[in-house]
């Protein structure tokens, strides 16, 4: 088993991904039917009111320019009729005449659609007091200059106007990003600290911002596009409680395709006007609010993620899912993943969620706000009480192991190669007689090398690099403690993992590797005939882990007894000759046959290590074995009790159970 040194490091720092996140995910809906009550501008693509001569239309149609002699009435360019009286087409009070109809009188100058008091100059749609100059939609007091939607008290005019709108209109993409918007809403969450939405606001830094979620009022249950996140850039955090009846003024802002209302000094206010009813979460499925078909990383390096049918419209909305399986434990960003078939969603701990469900656990109920960041769809529960996930059936319900166990194996890249051990018991364990072994092989024309040969001085070949290491005299491990052994030295280990807060517990300081004076050395091999093994003083050879498959074994031997005792035993790969079966060997009970042993599965990488997820060793046979506590350590279903996920050195595996 010759090993090659592979120093290709491939970790990408998670925080640096934020600057690329805009390349992933869905944008807001395009202007069109269903997203715009007026018309869609052919030059900007934005939704217009659809009531002016230069932009006339309705129901998401393309805006038209009314020709000379036509007026924009009810979203259509129409000709005024000829009568002047008081009937349907007359001047006095008709529909298209001068007096009080739809043209000069009632739809025009007099009080109608143009000049008088209708839809135009007088009090109508243009100048008077309607939708335009006088008090209407443009200059007077309507949607524009006077006091309406634009200049006077409206959207984006030069005098600082604010658009009176709704959350639904914002989420449907009918509002121009950067607009100052005022909405009436009910508070759906308390204020929390949100790091995701701070990135672009702080020029790439990650200073968390105060944030909370709001919803449209007067809803029994939440609906698509009915909620949004409010993020504050103000010095003082807003004071908000669930159920508050609020008026919120903020800048509509797309933070890497995640919709927010941003409270800024120029456009930011939260006013409590009372209390109101909080809508219940809509029940949805992962196929609606999740993603499918994508790959990890952001930007996505492989296939692009495909949004669920309602993923975008439930962004910022409180929803509930009632099925799914935990497919990945919590990572360094506090996220775990749920899956249903090809559909996946990440669950965020932004509100201080402490839930860390076991892999394979089934979702009974999980309530949270739809969210989008770093190319992934997420749910944000408000508390642990909103997360109900049953235990994984793979681990069962038995107690934790009653002995020292191997808890993590990092096999690649070479500088990161390490083995983690864990004490799951309530008392300290001495390591003075504990050995760490990796040499099971049939070599040199059939010469066998097995750890049970330790009392005989060993009989291992000399043409492969492996190890048989002993913990230093006096070493021990405290209850619940995790310890790591850096197989290529502490300096290499720290070059891959951050050691600012925690160096490895032990190192193998072989020839060619610097000896870290702050890290204890593992002792070398008992078999001086195998010169490629590490000798007690560092020696001339280095044992490495093979990516394709082999074993890692903890065993106990006092240096005197004629047999050893198994402490823990893990294998990976499909080659039976890398496995141990002591059946029939004098002094030992029967092991599980090599061909029936179940190895850890999957392909390790620079970002994935083998990790124990079942702390009780699953269905391992607990009596009649060669283990230190009577277990048959070769019987553990490692394909069920171990997983591949991001390394967690000197820490509990994310999603471990029970």
In this prediction, residue 442 carries a pLDDT of 61
In this prediction, residue 135 carries a pLDDT of 37
Q: In this predicted model, what pLDDT tens digit does every residue of 467-500 receive, in sequence order?
A: 888 899 899 999 999 999 998 889 989 988 878 7
Distances (CA, A) of 573 to 471, 597, 604: 26, 11, 11
In this prediction, residue 13 carries a pLDDT of 33
| Beta-bridge partners for 214 | 187, 228
CA 503 to chain centre: 28
Best CA proximity match to 498, nearest among 6, 5, 14: 14
In this prediction, residue 511 carries a pLDDT of 61
In this prediction, residue 67 carries a pLDDT of 76
Residues 6+ away with beta carbon under 8 Å from 445: none
User: What percentage of the chain exceeds 70 in pLDDT?
Assistant: 73
In this prediction, residue 544 carries a pLDDT of 79
Position 14 pLDDT exceeds 90: no
Position 553 pLDDT exceeds 90: yes
Surface-to-core class of residue 30, CB atoms within 10 Å of its CB (0-12 exposed, 13-18 middle, 19+ buried): exposed
Best CA proximity match to 523, nearest among 469, 568, 461, 484: 469
Peptide bond before residue 391 is cis, with ω within 30 degrees of 0: no
Position 620 pLDDT exceeds 60: yes
Best CA proximity match to 308, nearest among 281, 340, 261, 331: 340
Contact yes or no for 315/170 (Cβ under 8 A): no
pLDDT band, very low/low/confident/very high, at 193 (cuts 50, 70, 90): confident
| Lowest-pLDDT choice from 79-93, 305-319, 557-571 | 79-93
Position 103 pLDDT exceeds 50: no
Cα 83 from Cα 584, distance rounded (Å): 113
Q: Left if phi > 0, otherwise alpha if psi is -120 to 50, otherwise beta: which for 27?
A: beta
In this prediction, residue 394 carries a pLDDT of 74
Contact yes or no for 620/636 (Cβ under 8 A): yes
pLDDT band, very low/low/confident/very high, at 134 (cuts 50, 70, 90): very low
Cα 328 from Cα 349, distance rounded (Å): 14
In this prediction, residue 540 carries a pLDDT of 45
Give the three-state DSSP class for 286: helix
135-146: average pLDDT: 34
Cα 23 from Cα 520, distance rounded (Å): 46
Among 77-91, 466-480, 614-628, which range has the highest average pLDDT?
614-628
Q: In this predicted model, what pLDDT tens digit does every residue of 205-217 receive, in sequence order?
A: 556 689 999 999 9
Instruction: Output the pTM of the full model.
Output: 0.53
Q: In this predicted model, what pLDDT tens digit does every residue of 343-384 receive, in sequence order?
A: 999 998 878 788 778 777 889 999 999 999 888 999 999 998
Q: In this predicted model, what pLDDT tens digit does every residue of 404-446 receive, in sequence order?
A: 999 999 999 988 999 999 999 999 999 999 999 887 776 545 5
DSSP element (H, E) containing 641? helix 638-641
Cα 190 from Cα 580, distance rounded (Å): 57
In this prediction, residue 254 carries a pLDDT of 86
182 or 389, greater pLDDT? 182
Angle in degrees, CA 543, 599, 640, rounded to 5: 130
In this prediction, residue 58 carries a pLDDT of 79
pLDDT band, very low/low/confident/very high, at 458 (cuts 50, 70, 90): low
93 or 608, greater pLDDT? 608
pLDDT band, very low/low/confident/very high, at 403 (cuts 50, 70, 90): very high
User: What does DSSP assign to residue 333?
Assistant: T
Among 158-162, 180-184, 451-455, 640-644, which range has the highest average pLDDT?
180-184
In this prediction, residue 395 carries a pLDDT of 82
Q: In this predicted model, what pLDDT tens digit does every residue of 260-282 receive, in sequence order?
A: 999 999 999 999 999 999 999 99
Contact yes or no for 110/122 (Cβ under 8 A): yes
Tokens at 196, concatenated: 């995701």
CA 573 to chain centre: 30
pLDDT band, very low/low/confident/very high, at 148 (cuts 50, 70, 90): very low
Angle in degrees, CA 357, 413, 17, rounded to 5: 60
In this prediction, residue 464 carries a pLDDT of 54
In this prediction, residue 63 carries a pLDDT of 82
Best CA proximity match to 451, nearest among 565, 577, 572, 598: 565
18-34: average pLDDT: 50
Residues 6+ away with beta carbon under 8 Å from 219: 226, 279
Taking every pair of Cα atoms in the chain, the longest distance, rounded to a whole number of angstroms, is 121
128 or 365, greater pLDDT? 365
Position 396 pLDDT exceeds 60: yes
| Beta-bridge partners for 253 | 260
Round the average pLDDT of the chain to a whole number and report it.
77
300 or 393, greater pLDDT? 300
pLDDT band, very low/low/confident/very high, at 316 (cuts 50, 70, 90): very high
User: What percentage of the chain exceeds 90 in pLDDT?
Assistant: 42
63-72: average pLDDT: 77
In this prediction, residue 128 carries a pLDDT of 37
Best CA proximity match to 567, nearest among 486, 626, 618: 626
Contact yes or no for 424/399 (Cβ under 8 A): no
Among 84-98, 503-517, 615-629, which range has the highest average pLDDT?
615-629
In this prediction, residue 97 carries a pLDDT of 35
């Amino acid at each position: 088993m010759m090993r090659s040194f592979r120093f290709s490091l491939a970790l990408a720092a998670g925080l640096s991904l934020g600057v690329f996140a805009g390349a992933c995910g869905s944008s807001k809906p395009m202007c069109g039917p269903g997203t715009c009550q007026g018309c869609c501008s052919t030059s900007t693509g934005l939704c217009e009111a659809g009531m002016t001569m230069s932009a006339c239309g309705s129901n998401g149609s393309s805006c038209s320019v009314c020709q000379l002699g036509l007026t924009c009435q009810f979203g259509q360019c129409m000709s005024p009729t000829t009568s002047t009286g008081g009937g349907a087409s007359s001047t006095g009070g008709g529909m298209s005449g001068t007096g009080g109809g739809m043209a000069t009188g009632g739809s025009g100058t007099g009080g109608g659609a143009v000049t008088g008091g209708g839809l135009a100059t007088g009090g109508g749609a243009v100048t008077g007091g309607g939708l335009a100059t006088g008090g209407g939609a443009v200059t007077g007091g309507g949607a524009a200059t006077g006091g309406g939607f634009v200049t006077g008290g409206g959207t984006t005019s030069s005098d600082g106007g604010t658009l009176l709108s709704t959350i639904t209109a914002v989420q449907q993409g009918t509002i121009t990003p950067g607009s100052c918007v005022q909405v009436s809403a009910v508070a759906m969450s308390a204020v929390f600290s949100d790091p995701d939405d701070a990135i672009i606001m702080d020029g790439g830094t990650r200073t968390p911002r105060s944030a909370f979620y709001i919803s449209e009022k007067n809803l029994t249950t939440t609906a698509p596009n009915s909620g949004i996140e409010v993020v504050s850039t103000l010095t003082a955090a807003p004071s908000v409680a669930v159920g508050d009846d609020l008026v919120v003024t903020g800048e509509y802002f797309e933070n890497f395709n995640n919709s927010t209302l941003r409270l800024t000094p120029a456009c930011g206010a939260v006013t409590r006007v009372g209390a109101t009813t909080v809508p219940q979460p809509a029940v949805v499925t992962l196929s609606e609010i999740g993603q499918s078909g994508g790959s990890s990383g952001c930007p996505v390096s492989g296939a692009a993620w495909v949004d669920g049918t309602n993923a975008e419209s439930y962004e910022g909305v409180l929803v509930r899912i009632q099925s799914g399986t935990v497919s990945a434990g919590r990572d360094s960003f506090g996220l775990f993943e749920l899956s249903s078939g090809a559909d996946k969603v990440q669950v965020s701990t932004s509100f201080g969620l402490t839930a860390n469900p076991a892999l394979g656990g089934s979702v009974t109920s999980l309530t949270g706000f739809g969210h989008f960041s770093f190319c992934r769809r997420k749910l944000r529960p408000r508390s642990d009480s909103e997360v109900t996930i049953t235990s994984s059936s793979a681990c069962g319900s038995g107690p934790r192991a009653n002995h020292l166990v191997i808890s993590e194996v990092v096999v690649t890249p070479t500088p990161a190669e390490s083995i983690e051990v864990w004490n799951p018991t309530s008392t300290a364990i001495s390591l003075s007689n504990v050995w760490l072994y990796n040499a099971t092989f049939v070599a040199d024309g059939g010469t066998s090398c097995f750890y049970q040969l330790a009392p005989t001085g060993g009989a291992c070949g000399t043409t492969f690099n492996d190890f048989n290491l002993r913990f230093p005299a006096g070493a021990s491990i405290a209850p619940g403690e995790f310890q790591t052994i850096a197989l290529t030295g502490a300096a290499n280990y720290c070059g891959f993992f951050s050691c600012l807060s925690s160096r490895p517990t032990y190192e193998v300081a072989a020839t060619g590797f610097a000896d870290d004076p702050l890290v204890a050395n593992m002792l070398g091999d008992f078999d001086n005939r195998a010169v490629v093994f590490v000798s007690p003083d560092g020696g001339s050879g280095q044992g490495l882990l093979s990516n394709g498959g082999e074993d890692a074994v903890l065993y106990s031997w006092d240096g005197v007894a004629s047999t050893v005792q198994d402490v823990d035993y893990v294998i990976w790969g499909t080659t039976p000759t890398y496995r141990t079966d002591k059946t029939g060997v004098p002094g030992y009970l029967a092991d599980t046959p090599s061909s029936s042993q179940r190895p850890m599965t999957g392909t390790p990488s620079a970002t994935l290590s083998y990790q124990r997820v079942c702390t009780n060793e699953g269905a391992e046979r607990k009596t009649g074995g060669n283990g230190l506590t009577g277990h048959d350590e070769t019987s553990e279903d490692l394909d069920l009790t171990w997983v591949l996920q991001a390394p967690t050195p000197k820490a509990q595996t994310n999603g471990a159970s029970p």
